[in-house]
Amino acid sequence: MKKTSIVLLFILVSFATKAQQTEEELKKDLKEKKAVISKLQGEAKSIQSKLDALPGWKKGAFGTIGGNISGFKNWYARTAPNAAAANIGITFNGYANLIEKDYFWRNSVAINLGWVKFDDKDDPTDSPDFETATDVFNISSLYGKRLNKKWALSALGEYRTTILDNFNDPGYLDFGVGFTWTPTNNLVVVIHPGNYNFVFSSTDTVFESSLGAKIVADYTAKYDKLSVKTNLSMFQSYKSSDLSNWTLTNSLGYTLYKGIGLGFELGLRKNKQEALNNALGNFDPVTNPTQVTPTFSTVDNKLQSYWLFGMSYAF
């Protein structure tokens, strides 16, 4: 019996030792495999970088759809106990770039559209329809003749407006010439000291075209499952700072499964002409006789912003 116990103990110790060795071997094997994967990922990124640098057309796009709906019936904690609400937003960012040894032609389009609805069922004057919340349309085309690997003589055409409400009222068309700096495949910086900012509007007393300098910085990249686009478009008028403006947009898209994922976009803008036009639209001396007529010198040029978070799709 004693010999049997010793044999069983020896067998258990052997199994435990073998199991321990197996675990250590598995951990070592896993570490080696991870090192191989890391090396292959580095090589894949290097190959992709070389592919991106090859001449020819480079195309891509991604967008975001966000939305929510809600309904209330006899929810007495609310001011409007019977109501329906909804919010829908869509963004799209696309580009088509022709990259050659001696020249390039870069084209991009950015669209952000949003609708919102709040229907108070107990208010017969309340509209049940969707109203425009966000309305952004931007298209640009940049041609450059290379001076060297990073600098080029360039010409840029850029058009910005709204397409759901007040199309081309206002609309901004920039056309100018100067230089473009491309330090990497993903970053493009446009510096055009000679640029004319055409402004189209039915309100001639507020909006005015002028000559000035144009600066555009665009960063577009894809990191595995993450798509990134940041664009700064700035115009500095030589005539008056009141006619200057800038717009910054930041877009992110993360793919979770077969192109579907999460997306986020943030837009910021400063435009004194739009601020004054909005203030004049709300100016009513009849109901408020003491109100002073807004001017460029008195208007509060607040920072404009919008953001959208929702499902995204990478094309």
CA distance 50 to 60: 17
Higher pLDDT, 128 or 192: 192
β-strand pairing of 304-314 with 260-271: antiparallel
- Residue 129's SS3 state is coil
Q: What per-residue confidence (pLDDT) applies to 31?
A: 84
User: Tens digits of per-residue pLDDT, 76-106?
Assistant: 776 788 888 888 889 898 999 999 999 999 9
Count Cα atoms within 13 angstroms, Cβ side, for 19.
6
263 near 64, Cβ under 8 Å?
A: yes
Give pLDDT, residue 195.
98
Q: Which helix (H) or strand (E) holds 145?
A: strand 131-146
SS3 80: coil
What global pTM score does this model have?
0.78
- 56-314 is classed in which CATH architecture? Beta Barrel (2.40)
Cβ 193 vs Cβ 211: under 8 Å: no
Return all residues near 312 (Cβ < 8 A) that are at least 6 apart: 62, 63, 64, 65, 253, 254, 255, 260, 261, 262, 263
Q: Quick check: 170 and 136 in contact, CB under 8 A?
A: no
Q: What pLDDT score does 37 carry?
A: 84
Dump pLDDT digits (tens) for 230-278.
999 999 999 999 999 999 999 999 999 887 899 999 999 999 999 999 8
